[in-house]
Amino acid sequence: MSAPPAASSPTVEGAPRRGPAPVFALSAALLGFFVITLDASVVNVALPDIRSDLGGDMSGLQWVMDGYTLMFAALLLSAGSLSDRAGARRAFGIGLAVFVASSTACGLAPDLVTLVIARMVQGLGAATMTPSSLALIREAYDDPVKRGRAIALWTIGGAAAAGPVAGGSLALVSWRMIFFINLPVGLVALLLLLRVAHSPRRDVPFDWIGQIAAVLAMGALTFGVIEAGAEGLGGPRVLVSLAITVLALVVFVAAQARGKQPMVPLDLFRSRTVVIASGTGFAFIGGFQGMVFVYSLYCQQQRGLSSFATGLAFVPMTVLSAFVSVLAARLAERFGPRVPIVGGMLLMGTGTTTLAFLPASTPVWALSLVMIPVGICGPLAMAPTTAVLLESVPAHRAGVASGVFNTSRQLGGALAIAVFGALLAGRDGMLHGLRESLAITAVMAFVSAAANLFLRPAPQP
């Protein structure tokens, strides 16, 4: 997960800061961002256990994942403005309290509907915390060098790669432990937040029409795709949801075109770099989260693996990807950003193509090895993509551009789970749906790699 929009703060460079040590703000921000990224992926391997305990069908399992991701994606567009209005410290505290409370509700959920609703509230809390956590760091460190190091820690402090392994381990006790683990972490972060200085507030406008229209458009589209797997494309609920999607999208575009303070200025998309970078983020997160989703179900329901063994199957991919960030930075410095971006997306396309053609008898250890290129793609391609995006827009547009980029990433994950889940539940069986899902991922990756050949990185001084 790359850096989302951050609320600005009126600090003076180089001025001495009085008050609590900045380590409290950094520690609280790191813990908050840790549980946010962990919950985006930790649930995958526990889905079969959730289904056996709470019941439900494939669409219910899809909503357990997408309820969180959708709210996260839709509210990221305006979360920076909310953080400015309330102040970073207060916004982070409110978001963290909501996240901890909804995590408790997830762990205590008596049925699938309650779990999905609680996951949506989790996404609301996560969207509120994300920009304010970065703003806390910016406010705490006046020295640009120290601030840069703190932000680097924040960037690599996520837990998305550890999600499948952590989920499989916690599910050995109970799938509910996946959510209860957020309680002690969240409470420690709240205690640390008490030692953080109060943040300034700014009276910034809020695009209510655009925000509501964005939530409706993303939610209705995802609902329609999920229901299409059960009803078919001609089903009444599918057609109604798609009609709502179109209507909400029209309202959103009109609000951004005519509003005085649009949440997403449409002229931002005149930049080829913004469009390509957003599409790259969509393709990667969609492919990565979609692959983890389908293989988590396939390994347990078709191969008979436990949740823990399924989590272990993702270890080679996640462990090796942790060491690639340094390589990506060196490649970008020497050859420019296009080399690691295109190379990463080609690795993802090659890996998923190979997975799609492997026979059903392929041992799990071999599947784990072939997944490695997909995991490497993230650190190889996403950091230079983010850098190119931010270099291509004016400084006052950096937050908006980052918000669009991260929203496209989360939307890619939500739609991938919706589409791939529908394919898994198709008439041709899970293995056929798995291969179709991998083929779609490969196409997205190769198209993204080709598009990045046309990137125009900003000239270096």
Contact 231, 238 (CB under 8 A): yes
Distance, C-alpha 141 to centroid of its chain: 26
Q: Which pLDDT value is given to residue 279?
A: 93
Helices 236-258 and 208-231 cross at an angle (nearest 10°) of 160
Q: Which pLDDT does position 460 carry in this prediction?
A: 47
For residues 370, 412, 343 and 267, what is the CA-based torsion angle, rounded to 10 degrees? 180
CB atoms within 10 A of CB 270: 9
Q: Phi, psi (5° rounding) for residue 323?
A: -100, 0
pTM of the model: 0.80
Quick one: pLDDT at residue 457? 59
Measured from the Cβ of residue 195, the count of other Cβ atoms closer than 10 Å reads 14
Radius of gyration of the chain (CA): 21
Residue 201: CB partners within 8 Å, gap ≥ 6?
84, 85, 86, 87
Pick the closest to residue 396 from 290, 268, 308, 276 (CA basis). 268
Question: pLDDT per position in the chain (461 positions), as tens?
Answer: 444 444 444 443 334 444 567 788 888 888 888 888 777 777 888 888 888 888 877 888 888 888 888 888 888 777 766 766 777 788 888 999 999 999 999 999 999 999 999 999 999 998 888 877 777 777 777 766 676 666 656 655 455 556 677 777 777 788 899 899 889 988 998 898 888 777 676 666 777 888 888 888 888 888 888 887 766 777 788 889 899 999 999 999 998 888 777 888 888 888 888 899 999 999 998 999 899 889 988 988 888 888 888 888 888 887 777 677 667 777 777 888 888 899 999 999 999 999 999 998 899 899 999 999 888 888 788 878 877 887 777 766 666 777 788 888 888 988 898 889 888 877 778 889 999 999 999 999 999 999 999 876 555 44
What value, to the nearest 5°, has the Cα angle with vertex 279 and ends 412 and 424?
35
* pLDDT attached to residue 163: 66
**Predicted local confidence at residue 263, as pLDDT:** 80
pLDDT at 10: 42
Query: What is the model's pLDDT at position 151?
Result: 64
User: DSSP state, 460?
Assistant: P
pLDDT of 350:
95
